[in-house]
Structure 1
Amino acid sequence: MHAKLKIILLLSLYIGAERPLQAQEKTVTNSTGMEFVLIQPGSMVVGRYQPTVSAYVPPQPGPDGEVRKVLPPSAYKVAEKMAAEAAMPGFEVKLERPYYIGKYEVTQEQWEKVMGSNPSFFQGDKVAGDAKKHPVGNITWEDAQAFIKKLNRLDKKHLYRLPTEFEWEYAARAGAKDEIPWAEARARGVISDTTMRQVGSKEPNAWGIYDMIGNVWEWVQDYYNGKIFADPVPPRSGKLHVLKGASFTGDAKNATYMTHAAGPGNGFDVGFRVVMEPRP
């Protein structure tokens, strides 16, 4: 075969193989009723921590004329030094392949369809509204793997797995570079509450994904490294796996996509969402 023709054929085969990825729908619903959002490749900075210290302001008299006590200027100098020592520049993470991630956390209804049972503590009259639309809870990492294994047997078109921590965080950030403001966390997440809520009850993030802050903690694939932030290369082994995003019991410290925790946590407020990929 002529060398030039051979190159053209090889290129057309390569382009043909790539075209399905580029032509994928932005959202997909599978046979179990699980909805997925397409995440395009990109990059983010993980583990960046830049603490700030308020500037020293000399004591000022209040409305009653009394001068309130404040820390001396030397204390602010010490705080500035400590903040500088604690600062971390972070590291860049590149997501080079597109993937689908659950638009919502896996619900009790979807769990029952696949597994035939419901391990959630918050069921029936323990929650407001339709409990089946609430995220499944009381899930161990091994439980999540069992669900995924069975889902892979049921669906012949797609493959399912837990997201990596970087895939989860990239989707949760939805393009944001800095920490999520507290007001936005409250608008998007079921946090500082007494029970979980129906999925999608709060505002989505910029990419149309719901409940990545609050409702239930979410398992990811990675092992926990024993630190507040992830490492550039996740551990290859360990005793605990990573949880992300906080739950309905979360507060300002936990309601973030930047740091991580380790399971099993409380248990009753732990769930997950999955990543979907086309079968080869």
Structure 2
Amino acid sequence: MAQRIQSGCTLFLTLFCLFFPVKAMGEMVTNSLGMRFIAVPPGRFTMGSPTSEPGRERVETLHTVVISKGFYIQETEVTQGQWKRLVGFNPSAFPKCGENCPVDTVSWEQCMEFIRVLNQYEQTTKYRLPTEAEWEYACRAGSTTAFTSGPLTQTTCKPLDPALDSVGWYCANSGYKNPPDDLRPHPVKTKKPNNWGIYDMHGNVQEWCLDACKWRDLFRGRVGATTDTYRDNIVDPLSTKGDRRIFRGGGWHQTPKYCRSAYRSYYKPVAKRNSLGFRIVKER
């Protein structure tokens, strides 16, 4: 009986989301470290990319995903100042960038420990990394193009891709000279937000997600983020199989294809990169 009720609720949610487009809630909460979180409503969206999208990779199969529960997602990436205020040191390779720049050079394991300490500090259990489905859902904010701001029109660092330039720091605009030189991350909230008021989801730093993945298809000899969650009408997917961890979002040094909403890749959970950071979800 319980399974029948649950199935009925899932069907109702799917039909509701199909006929009533998702809109941003506009609600925001701020914690004691000054981290601001945007409310994201439940909804249904198409995850992945069409075969016609420039830069597309084979692990981006289009499929329908239902996000059954609303959540809060951090307005920006975790900043150097927020990290330092909680744990007392700054691991970033770019400390001169300032407290409002995203923290970088942190492993997935370090991010999980930061979140554990944050939960303890805030006396809650609601903070965690986003699943990659939640991440893409929040990134797209109702859009279906390569970027939340429009389609990808340039595949290299020159000339500027106008859609990406408006919302993200990447290889064509993250230098301090013209033409760009001395590429590096920039302070958060210095580009336009998406339609839900979320900043820096394209570029600046790549962002760890909660999902595990495999990295090689042994039967086909292919390499790439491999999960069993890319299938139609899946509800609240979270991949737990594999010894790698998914990251999303592209970085300050990368070309436009790596900054697309659908782009996904992986590192070992101990990996650290000067282009790799994270943002946090808070459960309702």
Where on the TM-score scale, by shorter chain, does this alignment land: which range? 0.7 to 0.9
Tell me the SS of whatever aligns to 1:152.
helix
Could you tell me how far 1:178 is from its partner in structure 2? 2.7
- The partner residue of 1:162 within 124, 129, 134 is 129
Q: Could you tell me which residue of structure 2 aligns to residue 145 of structure 1?
A: 112
Tell me the SS of whatever aligns to 1:224.
strand
Aligned residue type for 1:209: I
Aligned-partner Cα distance in 2 for 1:161–1:109: 19
Tell me the SS of whatever aligns to 1:172.
helix
Higher relative contact order (CA 8 A, sep 6+): 2
Q: Could you tell me which residue of structure 1 aligns to residue 259 of structure 2?
A: 255
Q: What's the CA shift string for 1:71-91, capped at 9, x where partnerless?
A: xxxxxxxxxxxx9xx898621
Could you tell me how far 1:228 is from its partner in structure 2? 5.7
Aligned-partner Cα distance in 2 for 1:87–1:158: 32
Q: Could you tell me which residue of structure 2 aligns to residue 61 of structure 1?
A: none
Tell me the SS of whatever aligns to 1:208.
coil
Determine whether 1:270 maps to 2:276.
Answer: yes
Tell me the SS of whatever aligns to 1:254.
helix
Aligned residue type for 2:95: Q
Determine whether 1:184 maps to 2:163.
Answer: yes
> When the two structures are superposed, what TM-score results if normalisation uses the length of structure 2?
0.71
Tell me the SS of whatever aligns to 2:45.
strand
Aligned-partner Cα distance in 2 for 1:217–1:113: 22
Kindly indicate whether the alpha-carbon contact (under 8 Å) linking 1:229 and 1:259 is maintained by their aligned counterparts in 2: no
Q: What's the CA shift string for 1:85-114, capped at 9, x where partnerless?
A: x89862100001000000000000100111
Higher gyration radius (CA) = 1
Could you tell me how far 1:159 is from its partner in structure 2? 1.6
Aligned-partner Cα distance in 1 for 2:76–2:192: 12
5+ residue gaps, structure 1, are 1-23, 54-82
Percent pairwise identity: 33
CA pair 154-187 structure 1, distance change in 2 beyond 3 A? same
Aligned-partner Cα distance in 1 for 2:46–2:86: 36
CA RMSD between the two structures: 2.5
- Listed as ranges, the matches of 1:82-93 within 5 Å are 90-93=62-65
Could you tell me how far 1:259 is from its partner in structure 2? 1.9
Determine whether 1:203 maps to 2:192.
Answer: yes
Tell me the SS of whatever aligns to 1:170.
helix
- The partner residue of 1:172 within 139, 142, 147 is 139
Aligned residue type for 2:245: H
Deviation >4 Å, runs of 4+: 86-89
Kindly indicate whether the alpha-carbon contact (under 8 Å) linking 1:43 and 1:92 is maintained by their aligned counterparts in 2: yes
- Listed as ranges, the matches of 1:96-107 within 5 Å are 96-107=68-79
Kindly indicate whether the alpha-carbon contact (under 8 Å) linking 1:148 and 1:160 is maintained by their aligned counterparts in 2: yes
Aligned residue type for 2:131: T
Kindly indicate whether the alpha-carbon contact (under 8 Å) linking 1:49 and 1:87 is maintained by their aligned counterparts in 2: no
Aligned-partner Cα distance in 2 for 1:267–1:113: 21
- The partner residue of 1:243 within 235, 242, 247 is 247
Kindly indicate whether the alpha-carbon contact (under 8 Å) linking 2:214 and 2:243 is maintained by their aligned counterparts in 1: no
Could you tell me how far 1:229 is from its partner in structure 2? 7.6
Kindly indicate whether the alpha-carbon contact (under 8 Å) linking 2:213 and 2:226 is maintained by their aligned counterparts in 1: no
Kindly indicate whether the alpha-carbon contact (under 8 Å) linking 1:229 and 1:260 is maintained by their aligned counterparts in 2: no
Give the aligned length.
219
Tell me the SS of whatever aligns to 1:202.
coil
5+ residue gaps, structure 2, are 1-24, 153-161, 175-182, 216-223, 232-236
Q: Could you tell me which residue of structure 2 aligns to residue 18 of structure 1?
A: none
Kindly indicate whether the alpha-carbon contact (under 8 Å) linking 1:120 and 1:138 is maintained by their aligned counterparts in 2: yes
CA pair 229-205 structure 1, distance change in 2 beyond 3 A? farther
Kindly indicate whether the alpha-carbon contact (under 8 Å) linking 1:99 and 1:277 is maintained by their aligned counterparts in 2: yes
Could you tell me how far 1:221 is from its partner in structure 2? 0.2
Could you tell me how far 1:48 is from its partner in structure 2? 3.5
Determine whether 1:36 maps to 2:42.
Answer: no
> When the two structures are superposed, what TM-score results if normalisation uses the length of structure 1?
0.72
Kindly indicate whether the alpha-carbon contact (under 8 Å) linking 2:59 and 2:225 is maintained by their aligned counterparts in 1: no
